Amino acid sequence: MAMTMTQKILAAHAGLSEVKAGQLIEAKLDMVLANDVTAPVAINEFEKSGADKIFSTTQISLVMDHFTPNKDIKAAEHCKKVREFAGKYSIKNYFDVGDMGVEHALLPEKGLVGPGDCIIGADSHTCTYGALGAFSTGVGSTDMAAGMATGTAWFKVPSAIKVTLTGKKAKWISGKDVVLHLIGIIGVDGALYRSLEFTGDGLADLTMDDRLCIANMAIEAGAKNGIFPVDETTLAYVTDRFEREIKVYEADTDAEYDEEIVIDMSTLRPTVAFPHLPENTRTIDECGEVKIDQVVIGSCTNGRIEDLRVAADIMKGKTVAPGIRCLVIPATQKIYLEAMKEGLLEIFINSGAAVSTPTCGPCLGGHMGILAKGERAVATTNRNFVGRMGHPESEVYLASPAVAAASALTGVITDPENV
């Protein structure tokens, strides 16, 4: 039976020769992930179940990133609970202040996830790791608890949408524009419980940072996962980084897909998602004059080194517009150091931006950049739901680092070509 790439990975981890869409399977896990918001709930469920051991000390990752450095007493208590659990069970991959990072940037960087893996995380954007040729998906904290105890999880095998990418990106086009364009086509539930499988000659023009961004936002189209084939770009990234055996799975040439979507990247324009859904997209030419109050450049979607380089390229020698708060948040300590050595942080600070230690903070309206009533933000994050970044009557516009940086300089949503 012909299978997609996702189906082959799931079959292998279920110990089956083949699987088909809709089939229920129990699969072995290579990595189980949680953060300071979801891990405490998972730990409670773990303890309530009577479990007294974990399946692996090296295949569980606990990352303190959402409200860290702790914003209040409750956040501190949550992190303390996770810290003590990690110590009790000798969990190797525990990351806190000083060695932390935004989880979905940190795990690939550390080589903890890679090609052929089957990964669950108690965070919806766990689908990020599909960029590396892995099956990865978000789950609830109860499933996370079961995963920590048993090293397995139940799945319904998803059907798939084939996304064929062609052409080459123009100067200011990035993976963010590609995925926003895709979500604008199919909608926030257009891939509901299906796999988005990316292919085409356009992949050669996508960097690993582009791919991580695209896979990260697969969930914003309702997808169970997003996944890229393992190619030279993938292998260059994971070689000497990934800790386990590299396993490459390829979709069969006659694999069945529910539909195919073709995107010619050479035709794309910078794309912005207007409030209050990622599907509410417009090209930069259709935005009009939207005045803003804040810009956030960072997150598990766009806080990587290429994102910071693009933003710095636009902001160098220029000044953030009066009245605009511009926040730049490198996604990991390593990225922070790279940006420092390359002089990017100096560019941001000289332009009037604030640079933060790695945190998810403002993306989820947690801390480090909350919006007041009536305020608008351009953000390189992944969600712009009502109240996502603060007051229910605030607004979030999703965009690439290039558009975000250009908008910070003008105070309105701006085409990077025009600054």
pLDDT digits (tens, 9 = 90+) for 4-25: 999 999 999 999 999 999 999 9
Instruction: Tell me the helix, strand and coil percentages in the chain, rounded to 5.
Output: 35, 20, 45
Q: How many helices (H) and strands (E) does the chain have?
A: 13, 18
CATH 3.40.190.10 assigned to domain 271-418? The reply is: no
Question: 227: closest CA among 115, 123, 303, 304?
Answer: 115
Tokens 């708060």 locate to 325
* Cβ partners under 8 Å of residue 139, min gap 6: 120, 121, 122, 126, 147, 153
pLDDT of residue 203: 97
Q: Of 86-90, 175-179, 386-390, where does mean pLDDT reach its minimum? A: 386-390
* Cβ partners under 8 Å of residue 63, min gap 6: 33, 34, 35, 36, 95, 100, 101, 102, 103, 106, 107
CB 58, CB 145: distance < 8 Å = no
pLDDT of residue 244: 87
The most confident of the ranges 97-101, 144-148, 357-361 is: 144-148
**What's the whole-model pTM score?**
0.95
- Residue 261 CA neighbour count, 13 Å, CB half: 20
Which residue type, as a one-letter code, is found at position 221? A
Alpha helices in 171-231, H assignment, sequence order: 175-186, 208-216
> How many Å apart are CA 155 and CA 139, to the nearest integer?
10
Same fold, 5-263 and 271-418: yes
Tokens 């766990």 locate to 126
Strand 152-156 to 24-28 pairing: antiparallel
362 cis-preceded (ω within 30 degrees of 0): no
Q: What is the mean pLDDT of residues 297-307?
A: 96
Main-chain dihedrals φ then ψ at residue 89, nearest 5 degrees: -105, 15
Question: 390: closest CA among 296, 273, 272?
Answer: 296
Residue spans per domain, the chain? 5-263, 271-418
> How many Å apart are CA 262 and CA 126, to the nearest integer?
25
pLDDT of residue 205: 96
* Cβ partners under 8 Å of residue 244, min gap 6: 30, 114, 117
Looking at per-residue confidence, does 398 or 141 come out higher? 398
CATH topology of domain 5-263: Aconitase; domain 3 (3.30.499)
Tokens of 305: 């080194």
